[in-house]
Amino acid sequence: MEDQVKRNWDQFLELIRKIGGYNEAVALMHWDLRTGAPRKGVELRSETLGMLSTEMFKLSISEEMGNFIEEFSKPEINEQLDQVSRTIVAECKKEYDHNRKIPADKFKEFAVLSAHAQTLWEEAKENSDFVSFEPSLSKLIVLLKEFIGYWGEKDTRYDTLVDQYEPDMTVAKLDAIFSRLRDRLVPLVKKIEASEHKPETAFLDQLFEQEQQEKFGKFILEQMGYDFEAGRLDESVHPFMIGLNPRDVRITTHYLQDDVTSAVFSSLHEGGHALYEQNIDTSLAGTPLATGTSMGIHESQSRLWENMIGRSRAFWERYYVDLQKHFPQQLANVELEDFYRAINRVENSLIRIEADELTYNLHIIIRYEIEKMLFNEGLEVKDLPRVWNEKYEEYLGLTPPNDGVGVLQDVHWSGGDFGYFASYSLGNMYSAQILHTLRKEMPQMDEYIAAGNLAPIKEWLTDKIYRFGKSVTPAELILRVTGEELTPDYLADYLEEKYTEIYKL
């Protein structure tokens, strides 16, 4: 690299790290707001969040940024950069082009509004009071539609939103993938419904002391290889993972006294997200590549740990004895096999985050369809609870008794995150495809798990996926790791095999 190019690059990195610094401050404020910030301070805090987000936004679309991008995009300069540096430039350019189109005051309005809406949502959910949340949600959607106008519609308005979370994914592709998946899963669900070999789950309906749940959750996270010296575990209404920097990756969980499995599997889930972020190569720290390559790939890692490892027979062959030790009164007389079958019961239910691996995809399809309606088909916000309830009746045969366990159950919309939900099912599909390869390359995987030796799995995932962060695209990554493009068949195969055995189909 020429000396002058090197000097410019260092200045460029300084600008990028400054943006990263704002990002860290904003992330800490979000974490704080959701883990115990005092209620009365929220309004002033939201103003501050808006201000910092605006400053970050201004830098990402600054003339200085524009000049650097132009400079490093010149062929004779660009060829002097290594592959990762080129990807950094491309990522900044994408962000620059994307954000340059939004006026700064609109961006600030969005940041303030979404911070405030998240707080209102928490209360609205608590009180099952959709009406108190509706005006904020409406305003967010109006703003997002304006944003789509600024960005330019892709095939449809909703395509523009989907592309944000899963680059190069389209509504047309998703429709095709989801319909293929649906064609294989619906018959499976029907067969399970008709099965006479339903798991017994009554023993799960007991009180499980929170303190013991906390201890067991921490133990499992340690076993997975979550580094508590580079993260921390807290409580929040809705569990989440947030990476402040690659050495400060925090997770939260939510304890239910009458359901020990909820916190266990949400810890495994957020732990999976966190393993991804904690193991990104340090050379990417402070750059826009120090995160997951897409929401779908991120979700594949949470799903892999939560479901494919965390709900496997091998996993509980090793850890059930520990769970029993934490809850002797509740579980001493419950057999491992009964526990394994119970945590894998399939049952149509109301709450997405409590849903089983199989019907989970129906929860996603409902949200995906509603979001399409909101952005492409003129559905009004006031009609959301009705449409939500109708779809739950249609797809899952259930009507929510109130909006707290219905349309208000998820945090996403309060943050303006429309287009995100599809990622969850994409995550399921990616993870099954990755698992297939992992099993091929590590035939003794189940033995490792059953011996509590999870490190080789974490290492394999780090080597194949985690360390690259966002320096490869999701499509490149899945092709490179598995040798194939994304297909829903591995997920369908996995689920058919697993449930055929459990339900003796």
Name the β-bridge partners of 251: 233, 241
- For a second copy, the binding residue among 112, 144, 169, 244 (CB under 8 A) is 244
Residue 27 or 442 with smaller CB distance to a second copy:
27
Residues between 53 and 92 that touch a second copy (CB under 8 A)? 55
Q: Is 222 in the site for a second copy (CB under 8 A)?
A: no
Q: Is 497 a catalytic residue?
A: no
Contact 251, 241 (CB under 8 A): yes
Question: Identity (one letter) of the amino acid at 264?
Answer: V
Contact 64, 11 (CB under 8 A): no
Residue 214 or 496 with smaller CB distance to a second copy:
214
- For a second copy, the binding residue among 3, 38, 105, 194 (CB under 8 A) is 38
- For a second copy, the binding residue among 228, 351, 440, 480 (CB under 8 A) is 228
Q: Is 246 in the site for a second copy (CB under 8 A)?
A: yes
Stretch in the footprint of a second copy (CB under 8 A) among 5-13, 36-44, 83-91, 127-135: 36-44
Residue 231 or 310 with smaller CB distance to a second copy:
231
Backbone angles phi, psi at 5, to 5 degrees: -65, -45
Quote the least distance from Cβ 310 to a second copy, whole Å: 23
Q: Is 101 in the site for a second copy (CB under 8 A)?
A: no
Q: How many residues interact with a second copy (rule CB under 8 A)? A: 38
Quote the least distance from Cβ 32 to a second copy, whole Å: 6
Q: Is 291 in the site for a second copy (CB under 8 A)?
A: no
CA distances (Å), 353 to each of 256, 264, 265, 424, 473, in order?
A: 13, 12, 10, 11, 27
Q: Is 425 exposed, middle or buried (0-12, 13-18, 19+ CB in 10 A)?
A: buried
Quote the least distance from Cβ 20 to a second copy, whole Å: 8
Q: Is 163 in the site for a second copy (CB under 8 A)?
A: no
Give the active site residue among 166, 270, 306, 317.
Answer: 270
Q: Is 225 in the site for a second copy (CB under 8 A)?
A: no
Q: Are strands 241-245 and 233-235 parallel, antiparallel or unpaired?
A: unpaired
Question: Which position has the token pair 């690259």?
Answer: 468
Q: Is 43 in the site for a second copy (CB under 8 A)?
A: yes
Q: Is 248 in the site for a second copy (CB under 8 A)?
A: yes
- For a second copy, the binding residue among 199, 286, 310, 474 (CB under 8 A) is 286
User: Do the annotations mark residue 273 as ligand-binding?
Assistant: yes
Residue 25 or 405 with smaller CB distance to a second copy:
25
Q: Is 28 in the site for a second copy (CB under 8 A)?
A: yes
| 371, two tokens | 């979001």
User: Do the annotations mark residue 64 as ligand-binding?
Assistant: no
Stretch in the footprint of a second copy (CB under 8 A) among 92-100, 245-253, 336-344, 395-403: 245-253
Cα separation, 110 vs 103, whole angstroms: 11
Cα separation, 380 vs 372, whole angstroms: 12
Name the β-bridge partners of 256: 259
- For a second copy, the binding residue among 5, 25, 314, 475 (CB under 8 A) is 25
Question: Identity (one letter) of the amino acid at 480?
Answer: R
Contact 17, 9 (CB under 8 A): no
Residue 231 or 272 with smaller CB distance to a second copy:
231
User: Do the annotations mark residue 197 as ligand-binding?
Assistant: no
Buried b (16+ CB within 10 A) or exposed e, 118-138: bbbbbebbeebbbeebbebbe
DSSP state letters, 40-82? GGHHHHHHHHHHHHHHHHHHHTSHHHHHHHHHHHSHHHHTTS-
Q: Is 230 in the site for a second copy (CB under 8 A)?
A: yes
Reduced to 3 DSSP states, what percent helix, strand and coil does the chain have, rounded to the nearest 5?
Answer: 70, 5, 25
The residues, any chain, with a CB within 8 Å of residue 319's CB and separated by 6 or more, are 220, 223, 452
Q: Which residues are annotated as a binding site for Zn(2+)?
A: 269, 273, 299
Return the active site residues: 270
Q: Which residues are annotated as a binding site?
A: 269, 273, 299
Give contact residues for a second copy (rule: CB under 8 A).
17-18, 20-22, 24-25, 28-29, 32, 36-41, 43-45, 47-48, 51-52, 55, 227-232, 244-248, 250, 285-286
